[in-house]
């Protein structure tokens, strides 16, 4: 197992480097052909200074490609991706290619007396490089995913710990078979924790880890111990001195659990950031711009469908077209959230209650609206008004917030960003029932602490998939 994994960890990055190099070379060739040989393009952008020799561009590409690959490596684009979402990869590629183009243009400026360049060719190289590299990365990621599915290149790991975080680690890697980790069992600080992880081998006390590493082919130990385990960690490092094994530590701070720890050095002193502001001014502006543009487009495209839904709502039940309900959003601010009415007018006469799969309060068309989330479409108006975002934690009523904030760990953290029409929790199957509320909050906090436009786009695509194919929708 060890040799197989080592080979895979070398071969996959090398293959990706080769694919990138070929992609960049093809981008130069294709850009030259578009500019100087493709007649429709030449009619739009006439060639006025003669056609330069192709060999000059190929020689220049031979110089540029190694530099671009070094830039990619410095931006960590050759680490094993563990099957990342292709849009995450695309954003990283755009950044790196842009840096590479600036470098290439700087070289052209230095060599301008010796190299007859076309600015339009370099613009085309930028566009085509992004396209070709992304296509190449798509296939290498598919290959990586296929290898993990066949257990090729998967790390054999064991867990050290018997707390809730250890259980979450095991559950996560058991479900996500493309994470690249095969959990074979767990160690403990005690000798009698046989029943902690059902169906997984209790290997024994952590003191036997040095003996079991070679016997079981363990490559990594995933450590999840409580914050008072300093002595255990020191002992672990001591007994494993001289052994090639990787330790990965997942902190389990009971009251300050965060999914993304950051270390910042200030005047030589390392500080671990346990809590940060989710978005800076630039990111808030970027997200708001994205929300306005996408919401405006969706409302225009879906206007005919919304008109039909409105007519059906009015024809099938008495009452208003829209259902307005007070919800709590960013910083605890209240607003009126819009929905197409999917329930009877007096649905909550006996008090607030969450909808269920076989709820008898639905109107004749209400259950269908809920199943395909069509009742949520008016919330794009809330987004335009600035009350909501397209992606974010789902807004909740004050009644439920007051009942859950004392019992659900870090519940109020979700109010640090604008609430959304869809969210990371929803696309991961945590839809807010009593049994999954803590899981839902954990997903919300992960989203807040790991936000990016790429993550928003990923959630939007997963939402579309969930709406049409999920069996859990109701």
Query: Residues 202-217: pLDDT tens digits?
Result: 899 999 999 999 899 9
Of the candidate ranges 4-13, 22-31, 266-275, 425-434, the one whose mean pLDDT is the lowest: 266-275
Q: Which residues pair with 247 in a beta bridge?
A: 221
Q: Any idea which of 205-214, 342-351, 366-375 has the lowest mean pLDDT?
A: 342-351
d(CA 26, CA 42): 20
pLDDT digits 0-9 by tens, 90-118:
888 998 999 999 888 887 777 665 556 77
- Per-residue pLDDT band for 411 (boundaries 50, 70, 90) equals confident
Answer whether 193's CB lies under 8 Å from 162's CB: yes
What is the rounded distance in angstroms from the CA atom of residue 15 to the CA atom of residue 18?
A: 5
Maximum mean pLDDT: which of 31-40, 268-277, 404-413? 31-40
CB atoms within 10 A of CB 52: 17
Whole-Å CA distances, 225 to 42, 165, 271: 66, 8, 20
The whole-number pLDDT of residue 131 equals: 95
Q: What angle do CA 64, 68, 73 make, to 5 degrees?
A: 150
Q: Cα–Cα distances in Å, from 372 out to 314, 327, 342, 396, 469?
A: 19, 22, 12, 20, 9
- pLDDT of 455 > 70? The answer is yes
> Percent of the chain beyond pLDDT 70?
83
Which pLDDT belongs to residue 474?
44
Residues 96 and 78: beta-carbon distance below 8 Å? no
Q: Provide the angle, in degrees to the nearest 10, between the axes of the packed helices 281-301 and 303-316.
A: 70
Return the axis-axis angle of helices 453-469 and 281-301, rounded to nearest 10°: 30
Domain map (residue ranges) of the chain: 2-149, 155-252, 281-469
Could you please state the CATH topology (level 3) that the domain comprising 155-252 is classified under. Rossmann fold (3.40.50)
Residue 435 reports pLDDT greater than 50:
no
Write the DSSP symbol of residue 53: P
User: According to the model, what pLDDT value does residue 431 have?
Assistant: 67
**DSSP code of residue 242:** T
Beta strand spans in 250-345 (E): 262-266, 269-273, 322-328, 334-340
Per residue in 279-304, pLDDT (tens digit) is 778 888 889 999 999 999 999 999 99
């Amino acid at each position: 197992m060890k040799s197989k994994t080592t080979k895979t960890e070398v071969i996959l990055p090398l293959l990706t480097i080769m694919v990138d190099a070929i992609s960049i070379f093809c981008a130069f060739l294709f850009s030259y052909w578009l500019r100087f040989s493709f007649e429709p393009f030449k009619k739009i952008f006439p060639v006025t200074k003669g056609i330069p020799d192709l060999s000059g561009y190929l020689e220049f590409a031979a110089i540029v490609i190694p530099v671009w690959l070094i830039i990619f490596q410095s931006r960590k684009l050759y680490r094993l991706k563990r099957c990342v979402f292709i849009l995450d990869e695309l954003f990283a590629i755009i950044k790196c290619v842009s840096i590479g183009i600036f470098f290439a243009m700087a070289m052209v400026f230095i060599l301008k007396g010796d190299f007859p360049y076309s600015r339009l060719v370099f613009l085309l190289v930028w566009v085509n490089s992004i396209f070709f590299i992304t296509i190449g990365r798509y296939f290498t990621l598919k290959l990586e995913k296929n290898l993990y599915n066949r257990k090729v290149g998967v790390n054999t790991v064991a867990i050290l710990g018997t707390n809730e975080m250890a259980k979450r680690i095991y559950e996560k890697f058991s479900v996500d078979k493309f994470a690249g980790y095969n959990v074979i069992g767990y160690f403990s600080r005690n000798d009698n924790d046989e029943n902690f992880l059902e169906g997984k081998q209790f290997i024994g006390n952590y003191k036997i880890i040095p003996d079991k590493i070679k016997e079981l082919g363990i490559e990594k130990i995933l450590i999840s111990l409580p914050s008072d385990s300093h002595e255990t960690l020191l002992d672990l490092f001591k007994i494993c001195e001289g052994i090639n094994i990787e330790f990965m530590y997942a902190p389990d701070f009971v009251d300050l659990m965060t999914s993304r720890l950051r270390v910042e050095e200030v005047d030589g002193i390392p500080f671990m950031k346990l809590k940060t502001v989710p978005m800076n001014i630039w990111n808030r502006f970027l997200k708001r711009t994205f929300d306005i543009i996408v919401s405006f487009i969706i409302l225009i495209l879906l206007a005919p469908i919304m008109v039909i839904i409105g007519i059906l709502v009015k024809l099938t039940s008495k009452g208003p077209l829209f259902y307005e309900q007070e919800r709590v959003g960013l910083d605890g601010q209240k607003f009126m959230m819009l929905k197409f009415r999917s329930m009877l007018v007096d649905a909550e006469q006996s008090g607030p209650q969450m909808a269920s799969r076989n709820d008898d309060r639905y109107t004749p068309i209400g259950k269908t609206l809920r199943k395909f989330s069509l009742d949520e479409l008016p919330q794009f108006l809330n987004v335009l008004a600035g009350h909501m975002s397209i992606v974010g934690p789902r807004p909740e009523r004050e009644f439920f917030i007051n009942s859950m904030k004392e019992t659900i760990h870090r519940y109020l953290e979700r109010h640090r960003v604008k609430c959304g029409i869809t969210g990371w929790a929803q696309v991961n199957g945590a839809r807010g029932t009593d049994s999954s509320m803590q899981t839902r909050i954990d997903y919300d906090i992960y989203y807040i602490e790991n936000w990016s436009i790429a993550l928003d786009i990923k959630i939007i695509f997963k939402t579309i998939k969930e709406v049409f194919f999920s069996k859990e929708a109701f």
